[in-house]
Amino acid sequence: MSSDDGVIGTNDDAASCKRYAVDKGYWNDPYISYMVPKSSSRKAPEISRGYYARVTSIQLLVEKFLRLTECRCQIVNLGAGFDTMYWRLSNAGLVPKGFVEVDFEQVTSRKCHFIKSKQQLLEALSGEDSEIMMNKAELHSANYHLVSANLRNIGSFEAKLSASGIDRSLPTLFLSECVLVYIEADSTEKLIKWIADSFPTAFFINYEQVNMADAFGHVMIENLKARDCVLSGASACTSLTTQMNRFLNNGWSGGDALDMSAVYRYLPQEDLQRIERLELLDERELLEQLLSHYCLVWAYKDTSNLGLHAISL
Ligand code: SAM
């Protein structure tokens, strides 16, 4: 058993919570059921609302980036797990020139298997003239690429991006959804800096735990440790300021960092009212506590003056 097995297992938790929330009607995802079985256990309403805020806010920022660049751009999903974003964007007619998903081989091999065996997933990859190349753990199509790499190893990550045809001169969005917190602080800083140094026009979206120092955060860390999973980067990024500075000190020009209770209030009101009617929430306080322990951070570097600073919720 490697020390990353616990971290790899966090993907199953995230995927199962997302599947549960989708089945309850929090958001629409016609693809998740092809990768994630129906959840056997009930999840508390505040968990599903938290996932709703996470998925919806990230989707809003990603769509703004795609519209601003008119899809003449690339997306790199770091620690992508079983995320279905490529298929959801493709359904909405928003396909970037390149979309690369990176994760450990244990995760990408399972995802590769789902894609190979589900016509509905495969269809979205096969445009005109597109040949799909795949082996056990990696897949390359015209736009979509799934590759295995340890994000601590920049050399291997760089090689996998090149093998996916990534063009460093194109505007490129990097997404890390609940990933950096599992990587040691110095490796994360190297990664963030390497991206800023290598991509002149780039946008980064990071979602993860924050404000972990109080009692509630302590309980959460302990729970994860119990599953052999240490939040390696959590001690380094305890506040919204340290979250933002990690980018500003490593080559990024600007951005913003909000905790998820602030993000929640920015989400489209009509849809919020709809999802708040789905399940009764006994204690609003629990939701507030949960939201205040997660954050959404975005950063830009805009050498081409595209106006990336204007992207926000
Ligand atoms: N981003 C997906 C989502 O939000 O649904 C998955 C999140 S899951 C909590 C964390 C993911 O990050 C796992 O799939 C894990 O394997 C991946 N991960 C963590 N550390 C990594 C590393 N050093 N290299 C590659 N992937 C990593």
pLDDT in tens, the chain (313 residues): 567 999 999 999 999 999 999 999 999 999 999 999 998 899 999 999 999 999 999 999 999 999 999 999 999 999 999 999 999 999 999 999 999 999 999 999 999 999 999 999 999 997 656 789 999 999 999 999 999 999 999 999 999 999 999 999 999 999 999 999 999 999 999 999 999 999 999 999 999 999 876 544 444 444 444 344 456 666 566 899 999 999 999 999 999 999 999 999 999 999 999 999 999 998 899 999 999 999 999 999 999 999 999 999 9
What are the structure tokens assigned to 67, written together? Answer: 């519209």
Residue 83 Cα: closest atom of ligand 1: 5
Q: Is 299 in the pocket of ligand 1 (CB under 6 A)?
A: no
Q: Is 115 in the pocket of ligand 1 (CB under 6 A)?
A: no
Query: Cβ–Cβ contacts within 10 Å for residue 223, how many?
Result: 10
Residue 233 CB partners (closer than 8 Å, separation 6+): 180, 181, 182, 183, 184, 185, 188
54 known member of a binding site? yes
DSSP secondary-structure letter at 170? S
- Report the distance separating Cα 114 and Cα 92, nearest Å: 21
pTM as predicted:
0.95
Query: What are the percentages of helix, strand and coil residues in the chain, rounded to 5?
Result: 45, 15, 35
Cα dihedral 238, 46, 34, 220, rounded to 10, equals 40
Distance between Cα 232 and ligand 1 center (Å): 13
- Report the distance separating Cα 143 and Cα 31, nearest Å: 18
DSSP secondary-structure letter at 100? E
Query: Cβ–Cβ contacts within 10 Å for residue 159, how many?
Result: 13
Q: Is 233 in the pocket of ligand 1 (CB under 6 A)?
A: no
- Report the distance separating Cα 192 and Cα 118, nearest Å: 34
DSSP secondary-structure letter at 308? G
- Report the distance separating Cα 305 and Cα 132, nearest Å: 35
151 known member of a binding site? yes
Q: Is 151 in the pocket of ligand 1 (CB under 6 A)?
A: yes
Q: Is 152 in the pocket of ligand 1 (CB under 6 A)?
A: yes
Distance between Cα 105 and ligand 1 center (Å): 11
Q: Is 302 in the pocket of ligand 1 (CB under 6 A)?
A: no
Residue whose pair of structure tokens reads 């508390």 in the numeric block: 44
Burial of 268 (0-12, 13-18, 19+ CB in 10 A): exposed
Residue 151 Cα: closest atom of ligand 1: 24
Q: Is 21 in the pocket of ligand 1 (CB under 6 A)?
A: no
- DSSP H helices, the chain, are 5-24, 45-68, 85-91, 105-117, 119-123, 154-163, 185-198, 215-226, 240-248, 260-266, 269-276, 284-292
Determine contact, residues 70/123, Cβ cutoff 8 Å: no
Q: Which amino acid does the sequence have at 179?
A: V
**Closest among 46, 18, 54, 48 to 258, alpha carbons compared:** 54
Residue nearest ligand 1's atom 4 by CA: 177
Distance between Cα 305 and ligand 1 center (Å): 31
DSSP secondary-structure letter at 85? H
What are the structure tokens assigned to 239, written together? Answer: 């506040």
79 known member of a binding site? yes
Residue nearest ligand 1's atom 11 by CA: 79
Burial of 269 (0-12, 13-18, 19+ CB in 10 A): exposed
265 known member of a binding site? no
Q: Is 179 in the pocket of ligand 1 (CB under 6 A)?
A: yes
Q: Is 83 in the pocket of ligand 1 (CB under 6 A)?
A: yes
Q: Is 103 in the pocket of ligand 1 (CB under 6 A)?
A: yes
**Closest among 62, 77, 65 to 107, alpha carbons compared:** 77
Query: Is ipTM strictly over 0.95?
Result: yes
Distance between Cα 270 and ligand 1 center (Å): 32
